[in-house]
Chains A and B, each alone.
Chain A
Amino acid sequence: MSNEATLHGQHEVIHHGDDHHGNGHDHDHHHEQSFISKYVFSMDHKMIAKQFLITGIIWAIIGALFSVLFRLQLGYPDATFPWLESILGHWAEGGRITPQAYYALVTMHGTILVFFVLTAGLSGTFSNFLIPLQVGARDMASPFMNMLSYWFFFMASMVMMASFFVQTGPASGGWTAYPPLSALGDASIGSKIGMDLWLVSMALFVVSQLLGGLNYISTILNLRTKGMSMTKMPLTIWSFFFTAVLGVLSFPVLLSGFILLLFDRHGGTSFYLSELFVKGKVLPNEGGSAILYQHLFWFLGHPEVYIIILPAMGMVSEVLAINSRKPIFGYLAMVGSMFAIAILAFLVWAHHMFVTGLNPFLGAFFVLLTLLIAVPSAIKVFNWITTIWKGNIRFTPGSLFSIGFVSTFISGGLTGIWLGNSSIDIHLHDTYFVIAHFHIVMGVSAFFGMFAAIYHWFPKMYGRYLNQTIGFIHFWITMAGAYLIFWPMHYEGMAGMPRRYFDYSGWESFKMFTELNQFISFVVIIVFATQLLFVFNFFYSIFKGRKVTTTNPWQATTLEWTTPINPGHGNWPGEIPEVHRWPYDYSKDGKDFIPQTVPVSADESAH
């Protein structure tokens, strides 16, 4: 009722605004939008953000469910689950998944989570949602390209989804898809049609990322409102900017690697293939290098982890500052360290390849540059801790997830110092230590950043709050569960236990972890159920959540909270507000917060 009123009233306001504002931006009469143009082929960055988010959530459920399925195998290798056969058919004959199905699940879990959830679902959602709102733009530089970006992602999703249902199953050579395994259908049935679909899907995904990334960059550079100099941008925008630059520069390299792989698969070329004898047959290929693919892959693959973590860093900075009622500590150092991370991200890829026979002298440079990246990361951690020091912290689900983010980022970041050092990596490479490291630092941390952002900006997205109590339960179980799952894996890795094994029972060296694996799998199931609770909260709250009654529920300074509670296409009903100050004037001169739109007064202390 009152919501209807709000919606209605607001439409009028927007309409009213249309007559006044100029700004050279003629947007059409959105109140006449049809269902299709409003919800499906929408060009409103806020709607596209929601499309990315909801698609990402659906993928996250699928990806996480896959991990539950293969954790069942790892935790309970002798048990049978007849219901598995009901869903997976001959992939789980007798209620136990087959090795082939296991590898397909592992591969898809990685692909889905890394690309579809933590790249598209995380930066796709919040870059889209926050860039125009926080820099003060009516929409993206090219709303049409933005729409294409989502629909290319959607097509990529459909193709990937289709690969689950082909007879030979989806790709199963790991999310890194190293050839020759991924190039030869004879080497693995997952490398038959499933691999082609995987490559096509990923190519579409790269297109989606490039369309999105170029848009984010041009919007940030060109469409900032009056007064919004680069140094007055919230850290979120800086992080989206660096993320987009990383993506635009590195995704094409990945695409080229995939195209060469397609040629090797179907064109008879030998980019990656040389001197092979597979399934009793000598192959004609000579002169290629399997390592070339790894270079091309990791030239994206490493920046990719920063593409995942940088937006989370930016959003956590914002949420922590707002809820501590304090400015972020060391704004310029934060921007500088993100810049340093973005540069170094391109110079460390070969640390994934220390044991491929890489020239050890070359390896030495990658050790140096990899450990160098820990310096800007350390600066960021110290700055976050100093941000909450002497603050006045409100524990919302958003701020708790932000604190959780810093905690897991520390834990996972420190083990990166282990693995970045080649003389330790030679023992720990491709063991569970690596699994523990990257799940904590880019899986859990990035998810915590994403959850913090969802809890924090949900009121702006839907004009309602997420249920806070479920939020707290969600946070605490996820936080404890994440450590319970991944912390003991460090020990398995120290024992040399290799990753991507279907069963350890035949190994004298690794079979002592049976109970531990069972424990981990048990926790995985609980944490998974808790995420479903969050998903329920999300969808329930869209329609029935507590309504937002003020435009600025968190008392924040940034521009998105100067828009109406349910902003229409164009974001501000009147003119776009002008910016006069940086976004972190919290608790300055005795005032709780000073919005960016307030002019600097004469008697104000300089910061």
Chain B
Amino acid sequence: MSGFLAVLVVVLIFVVIFQIAKASEYVSILKGEKKSRQQTNRINGFLLVAFLILGLIGVWYCNDILKDRILGESASDHGEGIDQMIKITLILTGIVFVITQILLFWFAFKYQEKDGRKAFYFPHNNKLEVIWTVIPAIALTILVAFGLKHWFRLTSEAPKESMVVEITGQQFNWLVRYPGKDGQLGSKYFKNINNATNPVGQDWTDDLNKDDFMASEMHLVVGKPVKLIIGSKDVVHDVGLSHFRLKMDAVPGIPTTLWFTPKFTTAEMKKKTNNPDFVYEISCDQMCGEGHYSMRGVIVVETQEEYDAWLAKQVTQYSLAHASETPAPAAEPAKADSTAAKTVAAAH
């Protein structure tokens, strides 16, 4: 019923607007084209200036209410460079934005049609055109130079002392694998994948795999560089790390990497943001299916001691896979695909 009323109100508003519009059309015919044009020119000229002024105030107001809601200080050292880059670009484009919008609306208002005004025949001017070709070119060169400097730093080789963490996307969660004590991830093959015992498809014949473990959250050490090895089991996902200002696609079949150094522990961020519920979140930033919006991962950044304590509690995937196969032989026939059998065979 209320929906029906809403539609009725909208229709009524339409009818009213339409009647006014129709009436004004008759009036303008009666008044003569020129006279009515002068009148609409005055109204629209005024509105253009009003739009400019209200618009600029609106830009300021929008910034004022939203500036605290965009992310605070970057939580990674790479992010600092990105924030600096954003700042430079914001200043340059901001200046151009304000100047060109003011000129556009002001000229439109100032040079509205008036009796006795003659438009100035001004088809071209080489000097002006050269000026406004060269100046943007210089400004953009500066932005490209700064941008590439940061870009090459972002995409450089990770430092040797970095810890390595593998993150694999699947519909619709993240799988995190640590290399264990040897610091090296074991090899994997997609046909070994078995969601129950071997979610990323580790190759049990590879000894490097023996100490690798899977974690439900990604734990990182503050101040220590980390290199992420990113992959996907099914469709393209994207590891989005908004607090660290980074993201990288997870592409099936093609591993990608990303490295950064976390600057603040989760506990420090809770204080900095005044939010006791603060967590570093991994968002999936590449459309991956109906659960895309819920594909959330958590990163815990902590001190070395906390990390070591957590590490001590982790159990290797090898032992989990090994343990689960003996008590649950009944589960095997249910898994019709040959991979499970193969995995078990490989494990022996």
Contact = CB atoms under 8 A, between A and B. Distances in A.
Q: Are chains A and B native binding partners rather than an unrelated pairing? A: yes
Interface of A: 83, 98-100, 103, 172-174, 176, 178-181, 184, 187-189, 273-278, 280-282, 286, 288-291, 324-333, 355-357, 360, 363-364, 367-368, 371-372, 374-375, 378-379, 381-386, 388-395, 400, 403, 406-407, 410-411, 414-415, 417-418, 421-424, 426-427, 429-431, 467-470, 472-473, 476, 479-480, 483, 487-488, 491, 494-504, 506-510, 512-513, 516, 529, 532-533, 536-537, 546, 584, 586-590, 607
Contact of B278 (A324, A371, A508): A508
Nearest to A411: B97
Nearest to A495: B70
B96 interface: yes
B249 A355 contact: yes
A290 B253 CA distance: 8
A385 B104 contact: yes
A422 B147 contact: yes
Contact of A467 (B22, B195, B293): B22
Nearest to A382: B132
Contact of B118 (A330, A392, A508): A392
**A173, A332, A382 interface centre (most CB from chain B within 10 Å):** A382
Given A181-B236, A367-B144, A495-B242, A327 B123 contact: yes
B42 to A, nearest CB: 9
Interface stretch (B178-186, B217-225, B283-291, B304-312): B283-291
Contacts of A173: 287, 289
Given A324-B119, A472-B40, A479-B51, A289 B253 contact: yes
Given A356-B251, A375-B136, A491-B66, A587 B21 contact: no
Contact of A360 (B67, B111, B151): B151
A290 B51 CA distance: 46
Given A324-B111, A430-B247, A374 B136 contact: yes
A378 B292 contact: no
Nearest to B170: A277
B285 to A, nearest CB: 4
A490 B252 CA distance: 31
A429 B283 CA distance: 12
A379 B133 contact: yes
A96 B284 CA distance: 23
Nearest to B155: A360
A291 B103 CA distance: 43
Q: Which 4 A-B pairs have the closest CB atoms?
A: A496-B242, A274-B253, A357-B256, A360-B155
Contact of A379 (B101, B129, B150, B284): B129
B120 A326 contact: yes
Contacts of B286: 178, 430
Given A392-B111, A426-B247, A470 B18 contact: yes
Given A181-B236, A480-B51, 6 more contacts: A103-B287, A103-B290, A179-B235, A393-B113, A424-B85, A504-B293
B111 A389 contact: yes
B25 A391 contact: no
Given A469-B20, A487-B59, A500-B287, A586 B119 contact: yes
Contacts of B25: 467-469, 546
Nearest to B339: A282
A469 B236 CA distance: 49
Contacts of B287: 103, 173-174, 176, 178, 181, 500
A426 B81 CA distance: 12
A367 B151 contact: yes
B193 A533 contact: no
B279 interface: yes
A509 B152 contact: no
Contacts of A406: 104
Interface string B252-283: 11111100000000000000000101110101
Contact of B17 (A289, A325, A473, A491): A473
Contacts of B247: 355, 426-427, 429-430
A590 B339 CA distance: 86
A372 B143 CA distance: 11
A276 B190 contact: yes
Contacts of A184: 234-235
Given A363-B151, A584-B123, A415 B93 contact: yes
B239 to A, nearest CB: 9
B253 A487 contact: no
B319 interface: no
A178 B137 CA distance: 35
Nearest to B253: A274
A415 B124 CA distance: 29
Contacts of B119: 324-326, 390-392, 586-587
A103 B96 contact: no
Contacts of A277: 170, 190, 193, 201, 233-234
Interface in B1-53: 3, 10, 14, 17-18, 20-22, 24-25, 28-29, 37, 40-41, 43-45, 47-48, 51
B8 to A, nearest CB: 13
Nearest to B133: A379
A497 B285 CA distance: 9
Contacts of B59: 487
B58 interface: yes
Given A324-B111, A386-B128, A393-B111, A508 B201 contact: no
A393 B112 contact: yes
Contacts of A467: 21-22, 25
B14 A99 contact: no
B296 A507 contact: yes
26 contacts: A98-B290, A188-B290, A278-B233, A282-B339, A286-B253, A288-B253, A290-B253, A329-B124, A357-B249, A374-B136, A384-B104, A386-B128, A393-B113, A424-B82, A427-B247, A468-B28, A476-B47, A496-B71, A496-B243, A498-B283, A506-B294, A507-B283, A509-B71, A512-B69, A536-B14, A588-B121
A403 B103 CA distance: 11
Contacts of A410: 96-97, 100-101, 104
B15 to A, nearest CB: 10
A293 to B, nearest CB: 10
B285 A529 contact: no
**A181, A379, A512 interface centre (most CB from chain B within 10 Å):** A181
A487 B57 CA distance: 13
Contacts of A470: 17-18, 21
Contacts of A327: 121-123
B29 A395 contact: no
B116 to A, nearest CB: 10
Contact of A395 (B40, B148, B284, B289): B40
A137 to B, nearest CB: 26
Contacts of B108: 388, 393, 403
Interface in B68-117: 69-71, 79, 81-82, 85-86, 89-90, 92-93, 96-97, 100-101, 103-105, 107-108, 111-114, 117
